[in-house]
Amino acid sequence: RPSGAGQPVAEEGPECPGPEEPCRRRLRTAFSAEQISTLESSFQRQQYLGAAERRQLAGRMRLSEVQIKTWFQNRRMKLKRQL
């Protein structure tokens, strides 16, 4: 397992630097088991995080707010598919 779990593997950005350079997409984030456990327990308490909760969780876990937001969106979709 990589020691930098939770960190992006490629540069961020849907924006394109120029017409001669291709757009670079952010690769999937590999969350550690501890991070997943924390995210799951937060999700069990509250399926929708407000900005303050998201900011606090991101700071505590050393992830970006966008990573937290995306994880929660994906987790809600997973729950919806299971129903």
Whether the Cβ atoms of residue 61 and residue 32 lie closer than 8 Å to each other: no
pLDDT in tens, 66-83: 999 999 999 999 999 998
Tell if the pTM clears 0.75, that is, is over it.
no
11 domain residue, yes or no: no
Nearest to 39 by CA among 5, 12, 3, 83: 5
Q: Does the residue 26 lie in any domain? A: no
Identify whether the C-beta of residue 67 lies closer than 8 Å to the C-beta of residue 38. Answer: no
* Residue 12 confidence (pLDDT) above 60: no
What is the number of domains present in the chain? 1
* Single-letter amino acid code for the residue at 42: S
**In this structure, what token pair is assigned to residue 24?**
């670079």
CATH number at residue 57: 1.10.10.60
Tell me which residue range forms the domain holding 66. 34-82
Whole-number average pLDDT of the chain: 85
In a domain, 27, yes or no: no
